[in-house]
Structure 1
Amino acid sequence: GRGAAMGTFTASFDLGIGMGSIAMGLILQYAGISQALIGLFGRIAGFTTIYLLGGLIVLAALVLFITGYKNKGET
């Protein structure tokens, strides 16, 4: 019922926060993404780069959600 659904949602949310933080840290540390973006955006480095990357991921997910929602309504 509702308890199982809420438990699944909460567990998924917590796992996403935990795994996302680790993944973003690894990207920042090993991929050298901050160095690649310095010339493009000016003095962007470190956590600012990761916040921008996280924002872009959320924006992409929002676009996919909206386009998928519109396409579902047309069928």
Structure 2
Amino acid sequence: MIGMEDMGLIFEVTDAMGIDRESISVPLGKEDPGAVRLLSNGEIEIVVPESTSTEEWVATLRVELEKLGFEMEE
């Protein structure tokens, strides 16, 4: 299950990219291999992997968000 620490780590990345928290959907269950995708309703779905710690995975999250066109804000 996703915990508050996991969400904090995710929000560190998404906040730094200027992504509104209301536009993020994070399923409560973890599922390998994890995923980041833009849904048809404009939300960003972030599925946290089960076999990798969230601390390690947030680097992948950043790369995947960059592939969707988001950038780190200054």
Quick check: TM above 0.5?
A: no
Name which one, 1 or 2, has greater alpha-carbon Rg. Answer: 1
**Larger strand fraction of residues:** 2
User: Please, what TM-score do these two structures have when normalized by structure 1?
Assistant: 0.30
Relative contact order, higher structure (CA 8 A, sep 6+): 2
**Larger helix fraction of residues:** 1
